[in-house]
Amino acid sequence: MILKNRIIATPTGDDFEEKAMGGAALVIAGHAIVEPGRSSFASPEEPYPFAKYEREETRKKVLKIHRGGAKASVEIFHAGQDARTVDYAKGPSALIRPDGVEVKEMDEEMMEETLRWYAETAASAKKIGFDSIFLHFGHGWLPAQFLSPHYNHRTDIYGGSIENRSRFPLRILETVRKAVGNNYPIDIRISAYEWIEDSISFEDVMYFLKKAEPYIDTVQISSGIDKIFEANVHCITTNLEEEMPNLKWAKQAKAELQIPVSVVSAVMTPAMADEIISKGYVDMVAFGRTLLADPYWPKKAMEGHPEDIVPCLRCSNCYHISSDHWNVGCSVNPRYHHQEFVPSEINLPKAETKKHVVILGGGPAGMKAAITASDRGHKVTIIEKQKELGGMLRFISKEAHKEEVQRLLDYYLTQIFKREIEVLLNTEADPELVKELQPDSLLIAFGAVERILPIPGVEGEKVQLATKAIAHPEQLGQNIVILGGGSIGCEIGLELAENGKNVTILELTDTLAANANSLYREALRQKFLLHENLHSLLKCGCSRIEEDVVIYKNESGEEKQLPYDQLILSTGLVAQRQLVESFYGICRDTVAIGDCVSPSNIMNANFEGYTAALNI
Ligand SMILES: Cc1cc2nc3c(=O)[nH]c(=O)nc-3n(C[C@H](O)[C@H](O)[C@H](O)COP(=O)(O)OP(=O)(O)OC[C@H]3O[C@@H](n4cnc5c(N)ncnc54)[C@H](O)[C@@H]3O)c2cc1C
Ligand SMILES: Cc1cc2nc3c(=O)[nH]c(=O)nc-3n(C[C@H](O)[C@H](O)[C@H](O)COP(=O)(O)O)c2cc1C
């Protein structure tokens, strides 16, 4: 199989068609269960993609990817002991799962049955037109369950040594190779490290890969375990983790194997991808969320316009599990997960009449609206009271671990600069000015303001707002108390602790970062554990701020005190409804967007900016 470039679109749900249009060479549709009724992780009824009445849909997946100009692959996936079954699941070792489902230790007969399904599924994938297959051997799924000492407690020839633990996974590969023949590409995904107790060692992974090499054509290096939350943050890393975390292992695999090696996870920019390929560290790069944020990433890179790529923030709002399905979306791509009602940026409906759109406030909501309205053919003016555009992004991008937000800010500023958008900086919007501009359409995007709780002593000199603390960390003393343990307070606390300060977070509720998605909360929890100088006091309310001590009440109502050099207020944001209302009545078409209506996040600001501009 010849690929047109070295970019693989790794499985991230069902939006593979646009990824193919965007220029990736190989698009992997994910996932196809191996064994009907026994291998799904979604539901016991998950359809088998090659069943008679599913084939037409599956064939469409192939054609959609081909239509976009990419080669098509499919992830072949067996959940093993974690299968959503109603009666029993099968895995390397017997157990009763927390949900009461029995996991049966696979005997020879069960193994044979599973192998038959692997053969059938692989052969069907080939027959239906996929150009290659991608076998999931990582993230704690069935083959990984056999490989990993965390799951495999057998004492027979399938357990114990790595030679034994490799035996069944190798039989899968042998079976699949036989089923698809020699001239058909087989790729596998493997976890180099599982990030749990009793994780498989990288040495063992390399042992297995060397044994697997005769059967496979390429391998993709990942890490972590999907089903175990602490380890899942390493499959799908947040911005709190380093970028390209799996590269160290992929490099070594590439050095020791003959077959091509790809790496996945947090490869963010074309420069990063170019570097690791040109240095010979890997042969191909696999992208997950970067292509959800911008499916046209490859084309933009290829055409020499990396500055037009919409950067992924690694917020993981796209990952259904982390939001518990409440609010799945992408911080920067309003279309992701909403394709049926949000048009693509490359396919924006042109405005029927050119209008003058005036936008008040140049934060993410205002900037996104400005770019979109301009692309639709409108004349756009932004009024911003600060000396720069960016809104809260100017502060967030100064924080540690927020390189992605800096990229987003750079992206917005570049895009505004590239268009004929009039920007009035250092200009506070007032109704008279807006009237003078005679807008046909007015978008209000003033953002929110930081909340100052009416606590005695809050006006004290040593009390600061979160944004001030972010902007001037050099002015902070050694002992810091943060009031409010939402994600903003936690991030500030983590950064200060990383810089050696003694930090205590006071939080009224029983959860830190309750507003964050669960994956991000877990990532923060793990980071907090690394710092002895970072403390949090839950269910504690601040009652008074004195010159050198903060007085708070703990869960039992006892009054306690904490000495401090600085107290940082991170107690939420408030909408600016009155200000917003004062701008209604000037222009018939007036809409308020983003935080000024209801404080939220970048995802909401971006979505509202985009859709408001679509409606003009
Ligand atoms: C410290 C902090 C950290 C955060 N971290 C994250 C994060 O990691 N991820 C995330 O998703 N969200 C985060 N948020 C929330 C996120 O920043 C906001 O939801 C988002 O910026 C809202 O966008 P917006 O455009 O509505 O408002 P803003 O970003 O607040 O922009 C509003 C703009 O309007 C301008 N303006 C206000 N009044 C006037 C006026 N009268 N005339 C002209 N201009 C005016 C302001 O100067 C500002 O530039 C954070 C918020 C804070 C405070
Ligand atoms: C929304 C979403 C869905 C995913 N679905 C799958 C899947 O079906 N199969 C799989 O092996 N990995 C899946 N993943 C993991 C990705 O393929 C990829 O390994 C991971 O996101 C890390 O790469 P990235 O940092 O480039 O996003 C998914 C990730 C996301 C964010």
User: How confident is the model at residue 25, as a pLDDT?
Assistant: 98
Ligand 1 neighbour 361 (Cβ under 6 A): yes
- The token duo for 128 is 């239906």
Tell me the CA–centroid distance for residue 61 and ligand 2, in Å: 18
The dihedral of CA 482, 486, 487, 488: what is its sign? Answer: negative
- Verify whether ligand 2 is closer than 6 Å to residue 364 (CB atom): no
- Ligand closest in space to the Cα of 387: 1
Lookup result for tokens 């698009």? 27
Measured over the CA atoms of residue 296, residue 302, residue 305 and residue 309, the dihedral's sign is positive
Pair 190, 290 in one domain: yes
User: Can you tell me the distance from the alpha carbon of 500 to that of 175, in angstroms, rounded to the nearest whole number?
Assistant: 55
Tell me how far the alpha carbon of residue 173 lies from the centroid of ligand 2, in angstroms: 23
pLDDT at 270: 98
Determine the pLDDT at residue 152: 98
> What does 482-545 look like in DSSP terms, one character per residue?
EE--SHHHHHHHHHHHHTT-EEEEE-SSS-TTTTS-HHHHHHHHHHHHT-TTEEEETT-EEEEE
Q: Report the SS3 class of residue 160.
A: coil
Tell me the sheet residues that pair with 71. 26
- How is the beta sheet containing 549-553 ordered, strand by strand? 541-545, 549-553, 559-563
The pLDDT assigned to 13 comes to 81
- Given 293, 308, 323, the domain boundary residue is 308
Ligand 2 proximity of 187 Cβ (cutoff 6 Å): no
How much is the average pLDDT of 394-415? 98
Q: Are residues 59 and 171 in the same domain?
A: yes
Indicate if ipTM > 0.95: yes
Query: What's the pLDDT at 224?
Result: 98
| Domain boundaries, position 544 | 463-573
**Residue 412 CA: which ligand is closest?**
1
| 238 located within any domain | yes
Q: Following DSSP, what letter does each residue of 96-123 receive, concatenated?
A: E-TTSPEEEEP-HHHHHHHHHHHHHHHH
Q: Report the 10 Å Cβ neighbour count for 538.
A: 15
Name the nearest CA neighbour of 372 among 611, 210, 191.
611
**CB 252, CB 281: distance < 8 Å:** no
Sign of CA pseudo-dihedral 157, 161, 163, 168: positive
Cα–Cα distance between 427 and 442 in angstroms, integer? 16
pLDDT tens across 48-74, in order?
Answer: 999 999 999 999 999 999 999 999 999
Structural domain includes residue 204: yes
Q: Tell me what pLDDT residue 324 has.
A: 84
Residue 123, ligand 1, Cβ within 6 A: no
**Is the pLDDT score of 610 beyond 90?**
yes
Whole-angstrom distance, CA of residue 26 vs CA of residue 71: 5
Calculate the average pLDDT of the chain. Answer: 97
Q: Is the CB of 245 under 6 A from ligand 2?
A: no
Cβ atoms within 10 Å of 107's Cβ, excluding its own = 12
State how far the Cα of 386 lies from the Cα of 535, in Å rounded to an integer.
35
Please work out whether the CB of residue 464 comes within 6 Å of at least one atom of ligand 1: no
Q: Which of 374, 418, 358, 414 is nearest to 390 (CA)?
A: 414
The position carrying tokens 């975390």 is: 245
- pLDDT given for residue 124 in this prediction: 98
Statement: residue 16 has pLDDT above 80 = yes
Residue 82 structure tokens: 């974690």
Check whether residue 502 and residue 603 sit in a common domain: no
Name which residue sits closest to atom 26 of ligand 2, judged by CA: 288
CA dist., res. 11 & res. 220, Å (int): 12
Instruction: Report CA(264)–ligand 2 centroid distance (Å).
Output: 9
pLDDT of residue 323: 86
Q: What is the CATH number of the domain that holds 488?
A: 3.50.50.60
Q: What is the pLDDT of residue 86?
A: 85
Q: Are 418 and 333 in contact (CB under 8 A)?
A: no
Cα separation, 179 vs 506, whole angstroms: 60
pLDDT of residue 425: 98
Q: What is the rounded average pLDDT of the residues 176-196?
A: 98
Instruction: Select from 7, 10, 61, 76 the residue to mutate for testing ligand 2; criterion: most ligand atoms less than 8 Å from CB.
Output: 10
Task: Tell me, yes or no, whether 64 lies in a domain.
Answer: yes
- Residue 32: give its domain's CATH number: 3.20.20.70
Q: Is 521 in the pocket of ligand 2 (CB under 6 A)?
A: no
Structural domain contains residue 54: yes
Tell me how far apart the alpha carbons of residues 589 and 585 are, in angstroms, rounded to a whole number.
9
Span 154-180, average pLDDT: 98
Q: Measure the CA–CA gap between 449 and 471, rounded to whole angstroms.
A: 16
Asked whether residue 433 falls in the same domain as residue 492, the answer is no
Q: Do 378 and 516 fall within a single domain?
A: no
Write out the two tokens for 439: 């807008």
What lies within 8 Å, CB to CB, of 401 at 6+ separation is 239, 240, 491, 494, 495
d(CA 200, CA 223): 11
Confidence band for 322, pLDDT divided at 50, 70 and 90: confident
> Ligand 1 centroid vs 242 CA: distance in angstroms?
26
pLDDT digits (tens, 9 = 90+) for 293-317: 999 999 999 999 999 999 999 999 9
Going by pLDDT thresholds of 50, 70 and 90, the confidence category of residue 159 is: very high
CATH code for the domain in which residue 594 is found: 3.40.50.720
d(CA 45, CA 315): 31
Same domain, residue pair 234 and 369: no
**Would the pLDDT of 42 be above 90?**
no
Residue owning the nearest CA to atom 22 of ligand 1? 595
Query: Can you tell me the mean pLDDT for 386-400?
Result: 98
Q: Are residues 416 and 553 in the same domain?
A: no
Segment 205-223, tens digit of pLDDT: 999 999 999 999 999 999 9
Give pLDDT, residue 321. 86
The Cα–Cα gap between 400 and 238 comes to 13
Question: Rounded mean pLDDT of 423-442?
Answer: 98
Do 473 and 424 belong to one domain?
A: no
Do 498 and 547 fall into the same domain?
Answer: yes
Exposure of 587 in the CB half-sphere (CA atoms within 13 A): 26
- Identify the residue whose C-alpha is closest to ligand 2 atom 4: 12
Q: Is 557 exposed, middle or buried (0-12, 13-18, 19+ CB in 10 A)?
A: exposed
Residue among 195, 219, 236, 404 whose CB has most ligand 2 atoms within 8 A, to mutate: 236
- Are 15 and 155 contained in the same domain? yes
Residue 170 CA from chain centroid, whole number: 32
CA distances to 105, 135, 164, 165, 420 from 93, rounded to whole Å, are 4, 21, 14, 12, 64
Q: How many whole angstroms separate alpha carbon 298 and alpha carbon 233?
A: 26
CB 76 within 8 A of CB 133: yes
Is 341 part of any domain?
no
Same domain? For 398 and 529 the reply is: no
Does residue 457 form part of some domain? no
Within-domain flag for 120 = yes
Question: In this predicted model, what pLDDT tens digit does every residue of 248-291 receive, in sequence order?
Answer: 999 999 999 999 999 999 999 999 999 999 999 999 999 999 99
- Predicted confidence (pLDDT) per residue in 444-487, tens digit: 999 999 999 999 999 999 999 999 999 999 999 999 999 999 99
Per-residue confidence (pLDDT) for residue 383, from 0 to 100? 98
Helix axes 247-256, 202-212, angle to 10 degrees: 40
Cβ distance 68 to 27 under 8 Å?
yes
Number of domains, the chain: 3
Same-domain status, 443 and 475: no
pLDDT of residue 438: 97
Q: Which ligand is nearest to the CA of 596?
A: 1
pLDDT for res 316: 94
Is residue 467 within 6 Å of ligand 1 at its C-beta? yes
Give pLDDT tens digits for 517-557.
Answer: 999 999 999 999 999 999 999 999 999 999 999 999 999 99
Would 453 be classed as within a structural domain? no
Mean pLDDT of 146-172: 98
